[in-house]
């Protein structure tokens, strides 16, 4: 069997069904056993010779999910593939498709450890840590923690990505920069002595409830694997939280992302202390004003879009907010990549 055929047969049907396929990426092992990441792929429908060229042909998208999460957003992939892009999503090690029995879900004590996941994913895409696939442009797309990871990665790997799209990136801790600076040394000591010590759970499950509540009657219900994406988030461990705060510190000190950056945020935040309809129209995870301010530290070209009525994941908000988010994304991507576009019809991504 030829080498190219061997690679092709590494892809297998994904849990999401067609048109998605997946591939397991070996990453070695740690004290909890073998480590793997998983890359999911959706390709655009082949264009007939008489059809006009689509706007995003020649573009590859790599998506990285957030904390206590994995890739399941079919609509988001469809937005890109309908415009001709190849869409890839990465389930990081110990998340989603990559979580193995006996592993601590989502745990790492160093965000730089995900460089290996990204390197393997890029290799599966025909790209590398030094350059995109020949003749193609790379767009990095990250949500929440994935936005933080990709921001740090892009700053350390200049010249690879043509654009960076961040969906509510976790660029600053909810307690703010000043308190973060005071807490970090204490947490660092705890992380060194007892890295797997569990910290108090503060997620009451309202964010998951809000995502389901905003689905319209004419829309399919939001479906995902609750073992990979629990209604309340994964347990938080001292070593992991210290790694996150180190990432926030690096952002606050200033990154050097050379690609244009789009930061998409809800228009406002709300505290999820008790359930109310307010939680269906706001970010209940991050303080969006703090994130908007911190985004200015990412690089020299940063655009910020605030979406009224959006949730923490702007692409899982109610239909009107999603329509606006996709329209603004489409406008920015077209301008950033120098493409000709037509206005995006509401709901065309569904």
At 264-321, the pLDDT tens digits run 999 999 998 899 999 999 999 999 999 999 999 999 999 999 999 999 999 999 999 9
Using CA atoms, how far apart are residues 211 and 100, in angstroms rounded to an integer? 27
pLDDT of residue 214: 96
2, part of any domain: no
> What CATH number should be reported for the domain holding residue 201?
3.40.50.1820
User: Is 75 part of any domain?
Assistant: yes
The burial class, CB within 10 Å (0-12 / 13-18 / 19+), for 9 is: exposed
Given a cut of 60, whether residue 326 has pLDDT beyond it is: yes
Task: Record the tokens describing residue 235, joined without a space.
Answer: 């347990």
Q: Is residue 97 part of a domain?
A: yes
Q: Is residue 63 included in any domain, yes or no? A: yes
Whether 124 is in a domain gets the answer yes
How far is residue 298 CA from its own chain's centroid?
Answer: 16
Q: Return the pLDDT at 7.
A: 43
The answer to the question of residue 217 being in a domain is yes
pLDDT at 203: 79
Domain for residue 211, yes or no? yes
DSSP string, 239-274: HHHHHHHHHHHHHHH---B-S-EEEEEES-B---SS
**Confidence tier at 194 by pLDDT (50, 70, 90):** confident
> Which tokens belong to 159?
């010249």
Residue 36 placed within a domain: yes
- Domain extent for 117: 11-47+55-336
Classify 187 as helix, strand or coil. helix
pLDDT band at 6 (very low <50, low <70, confident <90, very high): very low
Q: What is the pLDDT of residues 206-246, one digit of tens each?
A: 999 999 999 988 898 899 999 999 998 999 998 999 999 99
Residue 318 is classified by DSSP as -
Residue 3 predicted with pLDDT over 50: no
Count of domains in the chain? 1
pTM: 0.92
């Amino acid at each position: 069997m030829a080498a190219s055929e061997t690679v092709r047969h590494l892809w297998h049907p994904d849990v999401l069904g067609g048109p998605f396929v997946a591939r397991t990426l070996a990453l070695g092992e740690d004290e909890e056993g073998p480590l793997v990441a998983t890359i999911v792929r959706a390709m655009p429908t082949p264009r007939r010779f008489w059809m006009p060229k689509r706007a995003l042909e020649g573009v590859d998208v790599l998506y990285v999910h957030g904390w206590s999460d994995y890739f399941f957003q079919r609509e988001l992939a469809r937005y890109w593939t309908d415009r001709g892009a190849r869409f890839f999503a990465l389930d990081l090690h110990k998340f989603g498709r990559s979580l193995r029995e006996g592993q601590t879900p989502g745990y790492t004590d160093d965000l730089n450890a995900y460089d290996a996941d990204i390197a393997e994913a890029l290799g599966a895409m025909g790209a590398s840590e030094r350059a995109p696939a020949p003749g193609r442009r790379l767009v990095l797309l990250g949500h929440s923690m994935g936005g933080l990871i990709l921001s740090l990665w892009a700053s350390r790997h200049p010249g690879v990505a043509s654009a960076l799209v961040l969906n509510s990136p976790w660029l600053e801790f909810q307690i703010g920069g000043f308190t973060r600076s005071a807490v970090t040394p204490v947490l660092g000591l705890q992380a060194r002595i007892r890295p797997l010590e569990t910290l108090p759970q503060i997620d009451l499950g309202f964010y998951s409830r809000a995502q389901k509540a905003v689905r319209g009657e004419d829309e399919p219900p939001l479906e995902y694997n609750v073992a990979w994406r629990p209604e309340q988030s994964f347990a938080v461990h001292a070593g992991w939280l210290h790694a996150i705060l180190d990432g926030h510190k690096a952002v606050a000190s200033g990154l050097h992302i050379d690609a244009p950056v789009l930061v998409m945020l809800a228009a406002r935040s709300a505290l999820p202390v008790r359930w109310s309809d307010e939680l269906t129209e706001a970010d209940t995870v991050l303080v969006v004003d703090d994130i908007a301010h911190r985004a200015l530290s990412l690089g020299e070209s940063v655009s910020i879009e605030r979406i009224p009525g959006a949730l923490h994941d702007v692409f899982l908000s109610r239909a009107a907010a999603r329509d606006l988010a996709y329209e603004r994304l489409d406008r920015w991507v077209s301008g950033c990549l120098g493409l000709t576009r037509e206005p995006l019809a509401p709901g065309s991504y569904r």
